[in-house]
Amino acid sequence: MLKRLAPIELGRGVHLHVIKTDKFKTNLIRVYLQRPLEKEEVTKNALLTMVLPRGTERFTTSMAVSKELENLYGASLSSDVSKKGERNIIQFALQLANDKYLEEKGVFEKGLSILNEIIHKPHLQEGKFHTQYVEQEKDNLKERIEGRINDKMSYALDRCIEEMCSDEKFSLYEYGNVEDLKKISAESLYEHYQYIIGTSKVDIFVVGDMDEATVENMVRQHLNFVSGDKLSVEREEILRSPADVKKVEDKMDVSQGKLTLGYRTNLPYESELYHPLVVFSNILGGGPNSKLFRNIREKESLCYYIFSRIEKFKSLMMISSGIEFDKYDKTVELVGKQLEEMKNGGFTTEDIESAKNSIITSMRSMTDTPSMMADFYYTQVVSNNPDSLDEMIDKVRKVTKEAIIASSKQIELDTIYFLRDQKEGR
């Protein structure tokens, strides 16, 4: 049984969402702080999620924090940043055993107190963050930022978006950049922390088999966010018609070319054509039954992998593939042909049903873990969408061929990005 209850306002800009389910033997507390995606703070936000778990007023070291979590039957703490369109999301989560399955009671309440300390009562040194902790985590974050080149497929997707949206906030990497990281001190990071903790919209999700009134009472007692005016995040600009197709090439020591094509769909997620657009993308490049896979990978043997995906909040469609360096022109040509064929209705009822089934299976998998469930419903909150999972599935089922074709009419190629070997010429 899964029941998503109406949000509870704990204060201005602070909301509690209880997702009652008996599917898991654990309870999840997940806290989301919503920030605008800005160059001035994106690196600091990422660093904060690494520094805050290092210690609190009571538990001043990582080891002390870990020991306290171990005492709560191996509770699991995590923190991270993500990007939802041009929103930078700071998140903290604590997953712990449900009291129903324990002889000891009060584990949830103790977990809330620890999470509150992590977020609101950091370990300080002379009125600022502990300098050693900040410097160590700066090194770790630098390694993470520089290490993104190790996953060439993701790196090529990121680079295509950076070039495509070069004058838009969406181009920013959610973990920031090394140059800005160098400028951050323990003092400046603590000042930033004090600013965002009071000005960010807060959504607290609790996923588990617990009574709503009990959850609300405990959260009000133990998780103390300040009520007040919060920073609003503007809706992303999505309507763009590229004058020319931008072509970008990077060279690196790679054995396989990474080709990414970025398209503007010019279709907001609020549109009734959004679900048809998702079906369009799935038919085009959603898996082994897709047009791109069957025709470009299997029939023409031009690529090692190829797929299409929709970037919901920014209304982009990205096509990514791994190819031999000399197959660039032919692959770009055939992707374009497949796209135009689909825009003209060149797909079957079987294609539609296969895509719908694939999408619905993927949507249902969002209830497989408490974390995925919380993130799905938080995405609904951010996009102002009241639909339940079943209601969204029903909308996918009702998508027609005419709507799929209509959803594709404004899709335009914006950027072609190619990552190739530095020794090769073309």
Q: Quick one: which of 384, 418, 338, 373 has its CA closest to 18?
A: 373
Could you give the CA distance from residue 411 to residue 241 in angstroms, rounded to a whole number? 9
Q: What angle do helix axes 274-285 and 389-397 make, rounded to 10 degrees?
A: 70
| pLDDT 10s digits, 174-185 | 999 999 999 999
DSSP characters over 31-44: EEEEEE--HHHHHH
- What pLDDT is recorded for position 1? 63
Average pLDDT, stretch 39-65? 97
Q: What is the pTM of this model?
A: 0.94
Cα first-last separation, the chain: 58
Could you give the CA distance from residue 259 to residue 325 in angstroms, rounded to a whole number? 9
Q: Which CATH number fits domain 246-421: 3.50.50.60, 3.30.830.10, 1.10.10.60, 3.40.50.1100?
A: 3.30.830.10
| pLDDT 10s digits, 302-312 | 889 999 999 99
- What pLDDT is recorded for position 99? 87
User: Distances in Å between the alpha carbon of 352 and those of 100, 267, 324, 396, 403?
Assistant: 44, 20, 31, 10, 11
Q: Is the domain defined by 2-222 classed in CATH 3.30.830.10? A: yes
Which tokens go with 403? 């709507």
| pLDDT 10s digits, 409-422 | 999 999 999 999 98
Q: Is the pLDDT of residue 2 over 90?
A: no
Q: Is the pLDDT of residue 424 over 60?
A: no
Could you give the CA distance from residue 116 to residue 130 in angstroms, rounded to a whole number? 19
Structure confidence at residue 262 as a pLDDT band (50, 70, 90): very high
- What pLDDT is recorded for position 164? 97
Could you give the CA distance from residue 228 to residue 232 in angstroms, rounded to a whole number? 12
Average pLDDT, stretch 6-30? 95
Q: Are strands 257-264 and 412-421 parallel, antiparallel or unpaired?
A: antiparallel
E-state strands within 362-424: 412-421
Could you give the CA distance from residue 202 to residue 16 in angstroms, rounded to a whole number? 9
What are the residues whose beta carbons fall under 8 Å from the beta carbon of 38, sequence distance 6 or more?
88, 169, 172
- What pLDDT is recorded for position 103? 83
Domain coordinates of the chain in residue numbers?
2-222, 246-421
Average pLDDT, stretch 360-384? 95
Could you give the CA distance from residue 107 to residue 90 in angstroms, rounded to a whole number? 25
Residue 309 near residue 260, CB atoms below 8 Å: no
Could you give the CA distance from residue 387 to residue 302 in angstroms, rounded to a whole number? 40
What strands, in cross-sheet order, belong to the sheet with 316-323?
246-252, 412-421, 257-264, 316-323, 303-311
Q: Does 289 or 400 have the greater pLDDT score?
A: 400
Q: Can 2-222 and 246-421 be said to share one CATH topology?
A: yes
Residue 47 near residue 174, CB atoms below 8 Å: no
Q: Quick one: which of 362, 346, 332, 240 has its CA closest to 284?
A: 346
Average pLDDT, stretch 188-209? 97
Structure confidence at residue 426 as a pLDDT band (50, 70, 90): very low
Arithmetic mean of pLDDT over the chain: 95
| pLDDT 10s digits, 73-127 | 999 999 999 999 999 999 999 999 998 888 888 999 999 999 999 999 999 999 9
What are the residues whose beta carbons fall under 8 Å from the beta carbon of 163, sequence distance 6 or more?
171, 246, 248, 415, 417
Q: Quick one: which of 150, 413, 152, 164 has its CA closest to 305?
A: 152
DSSP characters over 167-182: TSGGGS-TT--HHHHH
